[in-house]
Amino acid sequence: MNRLILGTRASPLALAQAHLTRDALSLAFPGLEVELKTFTTRGDQKLDLNLLQKSEAGGKGLFTKELEEALLAGGIDVAVHSLKDLPGHNPPGLALTAVLPRAATGDVLIAKDAPDFDSLPVGARLGTSSIRRARQVRWLRPDLRVEEWRGNVQTRLRKLGESVNVAGILLAQAGLERLGFDLSGGALGFEQWQFRVCSLEDKMFPAIGQGAIALQSCIERAEVTSVLRAIHHEPTAICIRAERALQALLSGDCSLPVGVRAQLRAESGDSGAPWLEMRAILFGAEDRPPAQAHASGAASDPEAVAAEVFSQLERAAHPAH
């Protein structure tokens, strides 16, 4: 094929991810014409939805439905998603065809003054739209207050700079870096403000699929599948398969307060075969500690590793009486 239409949300981060996809395609197929088509999703429109609570949609498809409908209608060839926005099951006729190499998976604290998470003052207020982040914050620091903050990255940074009451916000490291922010020095400059940056990699579990770009297409479009497989990154896909298998077992809801970290190990024992390690945390009732799980197994069967993690989470969440 000579031309490919990529569908994407219109936010700066979504466009940055679409540009990364276009660049990868242009490198693999120098003669391929790649066009971008932007969409406004329901999640972009309904800024009044409180994602820290269970919305009427349960969080499913808020940022993906319009792109998936365009795929099925033939208006675009490929939908470019932040993988963490995708529900655990594809609509009939669609598939997650390829993923790009994964970026950093962790979250970061963007703070006005505190150099790290533990230094936040007692009772400090943090902004996030993620129930996963909110529950982990309250578990780690019950004294902190978490507030719903919506909008793209630039909007949230501007709101933080203008706010007199909020001490910091929580964002994905990958998104910030894809937008061109340099976090290496522990600081972030935006417009007239200077913020402090602290990695939460060792404190908080990331979202399922965090840091990965998903390329979704129609199953029947074999020519599109062939093109996308040329830029597919299999090591990322193995981890994603495990994480999304767990998501499917958890009813496919990308708004659940669950954090997962899946990592490939180069070898296992004497066999030299790749090994997959997976850790997860799942929050239930506010007055109960979270369920946690850890499993490892052959990278050739990531779904089996996910099934073991799910089994452990179920046992921890519903212990026998």
Distance CA 248, CA 97 (A): 17
Q: 């598939």: which residue's tokens?
A: 95
Measured distance CA(184)–CA(177) in Å, rounded: 10
Do 70 and 39 touch, CB atoms closer than 8 A? yes
Question: What are the φ/ψ torsions at residue 87 (nearest 5 degrees)?
Answer: -60, 165
For the chain, the 3-state helix, strand and coil shares in percent, each to the nearest 5, are 30, 25, 40
- In the structure encoding, which two tokens stand for residue 310, read together? 């799910």
Of the candidates 44, 77, 85, 107, the residue annotated as catalytic is 85
Asked if 44 is an active-site residue, the reply is no
* Distance separating alpha carbons of residues 296 and 250, to the nearest angstrom: 19
The alpha carbon of 259 is separated from its chain's Cα centroid by a whole number of angstroms, namely 10
| Number of neighbouring beta carbons within 10 Å of residue 13 | 19
Instruction: Tell me the pairing of strands 213-218 and 193-199.
Output: unpaired
* Residues annotated as catalytic (active site), given as ranges: 85
